[in-house]
Chains A and B, each alone.
Chain A
């Protein structure tokens, strides 16, 4: 998908790869950028249609050539559902590294912790930007599937 993006009167031609991939690869003048959009919250019970952040807007607001891992700021007010505030363990395992502490401001796509499981070091990344309120894990701790690892302030 090709997009023309205007930033302060300067036009960029942006080739956006598979928008379902994470990261999305956006190519600007031959240079590839990894983009970690804030994932749309899927199950929400109170948000009305129309408020939902759509993939197209996310993809279109992607290119900021200055920084790789540029995380588009979503204006979507996320409801206080579990997924929005908490980072859950995608699989059971042992925490081998914790890279965030309460009060840290993290960008979407930033590494939060590493879970060793299934003979792999699985990097857990922030799926949104925000400030970390609580860290519920320590190194060498066992976590179960869907345990809350960290929480954002909002």
Chain B
């Protein structure tokens, strides 16, 4: 066979045609917007040279509204498999140069194909989303295509990691599929998510808003809580996707990967012993506490700007992946409100799906009081935190750093929700409510009948503080397993997780639970 075999040449021609998607002009336009093409994105996401494409010759099958005259090989999405840090992943990348990346029946077919393969092989699926939504010309066939994807998203949830990287205007259905996945990464000023766009909103409600203010990265990171991470550039978003996967196993029966730590497991941080102010009403940074305890530089905070009173993220400790949940005293005193409850619940359940142990740092002064919180359903939202911690079967370790009051103590990984090892720092205060509030209820008569009520109240409050503003009352009753020096925390967590590595805690068989939402 010579090099000029026409059959080989035809294949090469077809491949080239498929490779350029919507053509050189549209690629130029994509670049002019400061964006990469779908193929460039895949090259940058995956280990070099590992991408293998599937179904590059698929085209749409319809002929409605001029579709028949404009066919593009690949149908606006590039699908296949490759590797990230040597581990297999399946991927799809929507190609904005072909019909604006809009979803057609055959595009859906291609996406579902790689989703099915990812599930069958127990490896992550990553979607690089850049799509204007449904392909209007195809009508209900396009909508059906979305439904096929949504159903798979739901069925694969908790079986394989699903990641969505948002790289363009993602309207309608293009926003819904990511919402069903485990992680949404957005690029600031490049990606948008909304169900109804600015024009529709203007027509219906008269409200005027631009795309960035309606569904940009800032909004979804800080206000709606829809996105989990955001970056300034596409490259950083793809890098972050790779980094995130490094904390996760490939599926729900594997354990997360272990990386030999460069950080000493027995490292003691003397600074931790003085990090909690003597005055219990002064704040300290829980972020600082976390950074000092986990393997240096390993903390990846998720949703860093949404409900900042709660902190969630992934980290490594002694080389093993852990899930971090904490409260931040510098933001709203670290109270639990509706948004914080949602944020914590989602993270706890994600980590439980993928066998990532939970490490919870508790500084829980209470639930946010207020009519809007109660009417907004803080009961059912707060109940989710209880549900998630109780349901989670991964190893669970908690450290009470300071406040642990009332119901807000109970929900935050307290011992009898099933937390395996419960530590408290000497600064811990574990009580039903604060000293002043408690004595006003318990000693109302004594205070009222006292000749000097204020003095009496202060004395009783001081007695109460002596009794409860330390961890030893709880420790004597068996509600904390040990009181440790803050500097020992790292070594204690590593030892506890090692002792829990083979934890077996089967849940009773059932179809699924009925978590409040």
Residues of A with Cβ closer than 8 Å to B? Answer: 18, 20-21, 40, 42-49, 52, 54-56, 90-92, 116-123, 144-145
B407 beta carbon closer than 8 Å to chain A: no
Give bound CA distance, A48 to B281, whole Å.
42
Looking at chain A's contact residues, the main secondary structure is loop
- State the 8 A-B residue pairs at the shortest beta-carbon distance, nearest first: A118-B333, A118-B365, A120-B333, A20-B304, A121-B281, A49-B212, A145-B370, A91-B332
B68: chain A residues at CB < 8 Å are none
B189: chain A residues at CB < 8 Å are 49, 54
Question: Does the CB pair A119–B372 fall under 8 Å?
Answer: no
B287 beta carbon closer than 8 Å to chain A: yes
Give bound CA distance, A56 to B103, whole Å.
33
Give bound CA distance, A90 to B368, whole Å.
10
Most-contacted residue by chain B among A20, A54, A55 (CB, 10 A) = A20
Since A45-B209, A91-B332 are in contact, a sample of 5 more A-B pairs with Cβ atoms closer than 8 Å, ordered by chain A residue number, is A46-B208, A116-B281, A119-B280, A119-B366, A122-B333
B residues 214-245 touching A (CB-CB < 8 Å): 218-219, 222-223, 232
Of B219, B232, B369, B405, the residue contacting A55 (CB under 8 A) is: B232
Task: Assess A123 versus B283: contact at CB under 8 Å? Given A48-B210, A52-B212, A54-B188.
Answer: yes
Question: Does the CB pair B405–A145 fall under 8 Å?
Answer: no
B138 beta carbon closer than 8 Å to chain A: no
B211 beta carbon closer than 8 Å to chain A: yes
Task: Assess A120 versus B283: contact at CB under 8 Å? Given A20-B304, A55-B188, A92-B369.
Answer: yes
Give bound CA distance, A43 to B434, whole Å.
37
Task: Assess A145 versus B372: contact at CB under 8 Å? Given A18-B304, A21-B287, A119-B405.
Answer: yes
Question: Does the CB pair B333–A43 fall under 8 Å?
Answer: no
B329 beta carbon closer than 8 Å to chain A: yes
Question: Does the CB pair B207–A45 fall under 8 Å?
Answer: yes
A120: chain B residues at CB < 8 Å are 281-283, 329, 333-334, 365
Question: Does the CB pair B304–A119 fall under 8 Å?
Answer: no
Residues of B with Cβ closer than 8 Å to A? Answer: 188-189, 207-213, 218-219, 222-223, 232, 280-283, 287, 301, 304-305, 329, 331-335, 365-366, 368-370, 372-373, 403, 405, 434
A117: chain B residues at CB < 8 Å are 333
Looking at chain B's contact residues, the main secondary structure is loop
Give bound CA distance, A119 to B369, whole Å.
13
For residue B416, give the distance in angstroms from its CB to the closest CB of chain A.
Answer: 24
* Selected A-B contacts with CB under 8 Å, 20 pairs: A20-B304, A20-B305, A21-B287, A44-B213, A45-B207, A46-B208, A49-B210, A49-B211, A52-B212, A52-B218, A54-B189, A91-B333, A91-B335, A119-B281, A121-B281, A121-B283, A122-B332, A123-B283, A144-B370, A145-B372
Question: Does the CB pair A119–B213 fall under 8 Å?
Answer: no
Question: Does the CB pair A43–B369 fall under 8 Å?
Answer: no
Question: Does the CB pair B304–A122 fall under 8 Å?
Answer: no
B304: chain A residues at CB < 8 Å are 18, 20-21
Give bound CA distance, A111 to B281, whole Å.
16
Of B212, B219, B301, B333, the residue contacting A18 (CB under 8 A) is: B301
A48: chain B residues at CB < 8 Å are 210
Task: Assess A118 versus B335: contact at CB under 8 Å? Given A145-B370, A145-B372.
Answer: yes
Question: Does the CB pair B218–A119 fall under 8 Å?
Answer: no
Question: Does the CB pair B365–A92 fall under 8 Å?
Answer: no
B222: chain A residues at CB < 8 Å are 42
For residue A3, give the distance in angstroms from its CB to the closest CB of chain B.
Answer: 12
A52: chain B residues at CB < 8 Å are 212-213, 218
B283: chain A residues at CB < 8 Å are 120-123
